């Protein structure tokens, strides 16, 4: 193409994206692959069927899509999966997207990872302008870690976190609270993050996709209870820190670190939602907990111009719902939406 997304600078996209409820959409999460080298018990079934490679957008198409969103006012871009670092050529994509950091059009380029490949890629990520990342880790016990992830090993993940830290990348840990699984480790996780200088966010399990024989009702541990549990040992000081996502933070007086809480079920975060999610097939989900979606692959491929693509994005934003309908109880033990978390990247 004459206007290759790898060399062209984005053209002005006009007015910023405002949804029907007056929320300014400035945050795009992009699932670059639905594949993962783990099979976490709250996220996937062990025997997963992944998307055919023919349906996956090329790196060039992902670059062009992300760049279109940047022209429309997206300031924060997060790459997710599946596991984003298992996508072949991922560093090429990250390197290309980093040009928007250099121009100032993009304020932050970051990713969420399981950490398995961090030891390999930490220096390259830092070189491309990635200043902080989220690492999903639900246990510091090697055996329990493997039980939760089914296929994962804790050692390489901890080594990867250390490599990221050495490269100057700030690491925040994401921990899903699982009743009867890791609820005996909450204090230890807080303590370890304090020792290592990492922030930590606890997340309630979300009802997305069939996860095999696991029951989310049995997994669910309310963050309100977790917070009360932490307060028995730590002094939780309210603060107004915002990372651009849904977490609400406190500072621990004893360590000075931030601990965040994401509570999509016990207290949703929809009123301030500033984000949309793009899948590796070019499908845009305006809400994590709703099925309404927009196909951006068709307008992307219909024209070398971004006119049709921008129009499709704006039409989708005009349909963004007020909030999700996540429920977990004995009457609603199945998934609220059929797609797995790995499809839209959380």
What is the structure's pLDDT at 290? Answer: 74
Crossing angle for the helix pair 154-166 and 142-149, to the nearest 10 degrees: 100
pLDDT (0 to 100) of residue 109: 98
Per-residue confidence band for 41, with pLDDT thresholds at 50, 70 and 90: confident
Q: pLDDT tens-digit profile of 78-95?
A: 999 999 999 999 999 999
Element housing 121 (H / E):
helix 118-127
The correct CATH number of 27-344 out of 3.20.20.70, 3.40.50.740, 3.40.50.300, 3.40.80.10 is 3.20.20.70
Residue range 184-213, pLDDT digits in tens: 999 999 999 999 999 999 998 865 444 444
d(CA 282, CA 182): 35
- Show me where the domains of the chain are located: 27-344
**What's the pLDDT score for residue 144?**
96
What is the distance between the alpha carbons of residues 153 and 155, in angstroms, rounded to a whole number? 6
To the nearest 10 degrees (0 to 180), the angle between helices 118-127 and 154-166 is 20
pTM, 2 dp = 0.85
Q: What secondary structure does DSSP assign to 54-88, as a single string?
A: GGSPPHHHHHHHHHHHHHTT--EEEEESS-GGGST
Question: With bands split at pLDDT 50, 70 and 90, how would you rate the model's confidence at 5?
Answer: very low
For 156-215, the DSSP string reads HHHHHHHHHHHTT-EEEEEEEEBTTTTTTSHHHHHHHHHHHT-EEEEEE---BS--TT--
DSSP per residue over 302-321, as a string? H-SSSHHHHHHHHHHHTT--
d(CA 193, CA 321): 36
Closest of 191, 184, 189, 220 to residue 203, by C-alpha? 220
Q: What is the pLDDT of residues 226-268, one digit of tens each?
A: 999 999 999 999 988 776 667 889 999 999 999 999 886 545 5
Strand ranges across the sheet with 236-238: 236-238, 248-252, 258-262, 199-204, 170-177, 132-136, 108-113, 76-80, 27-31, 275-278, 283-285, 293-295
> What are 12-33's pLDDT values in tens digits?
456 889 999 899 999 999 999 9
Q: How far is residue 149's CA from residue 83's CA, in Å, rounded to a whole number?
A: 12
pLDDT per position as a tens digit, 302-326: 999 999 999 999 999 999 987 755 4
């Amino acid at each position: 193409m004459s206007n290759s997304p790898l060399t062209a600078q984005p053209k002005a996209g006009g007015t910023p994206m405002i949804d029907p409820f007056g929320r300014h959409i400035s945050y795009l999460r992009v699932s670059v692959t639905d594949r993962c080298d783990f099979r976490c018990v709250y996220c996937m079934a062990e025997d997963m069927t992944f998307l055919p490679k023919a349906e996956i957008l090329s790196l060039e198409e992902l670059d062009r899509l992300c760049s279109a969103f940047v022209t429309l006012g997206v300031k924060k871009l997060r790459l997710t999966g599946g596991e984003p670092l298992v996508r072949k050529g991922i560093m090429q994509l990250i390197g290309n997207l980093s040009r928007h950091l250099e121009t100032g059009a993009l304020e932050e380029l970051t990713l969420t990872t399981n950490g398995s490949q961090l030891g390999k890629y930490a220096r390259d990520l830092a070189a491309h302008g990635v200043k902080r990342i989220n690492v999903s880790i639900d246990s510091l016990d090697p055996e329990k870690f493997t039980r939760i992830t089914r296929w994962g090993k804790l050692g390489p993940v901890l080594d990867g976190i250390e490599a990221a830290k050495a490269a100057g990348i700030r690491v925040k840990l994401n921990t899903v609270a699982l009743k009867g699984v890791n609820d005996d480790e909450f204090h230890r996780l807080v303590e370890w993050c304090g020792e290592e200088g990492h922030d930590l966010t606890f997340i309630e399990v979300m009802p997305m996709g069939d996860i095999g024989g696991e029951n989310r009702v049995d997994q669910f541990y309310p963050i309100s209870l977790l917070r009360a549990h932490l307060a028995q040992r730590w002094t939780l000081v309210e603060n107004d820190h915002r990372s651009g996502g849904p977490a609400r933070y406190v500072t621990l007086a004893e360590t000075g670190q931030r601990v965040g809480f994401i509570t999509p079920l016990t207290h949703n975060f929809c009123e301030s939602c500033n984000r949309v999610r793009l899948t590796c097939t070019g499908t845009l989900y305006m809400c994590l907990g709703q099925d309404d979606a927009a196909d951006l692959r068709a307008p992307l491929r219909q024209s070398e111009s971004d006119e049709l693509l921008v129009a499709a994005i704006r039409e989708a934003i005009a349909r963004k719902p007020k909030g999700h309908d996540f429920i977990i109880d004995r009457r609603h033990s199945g998934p609220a939406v059929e797609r797995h978390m790995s499809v839209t990247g959380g």
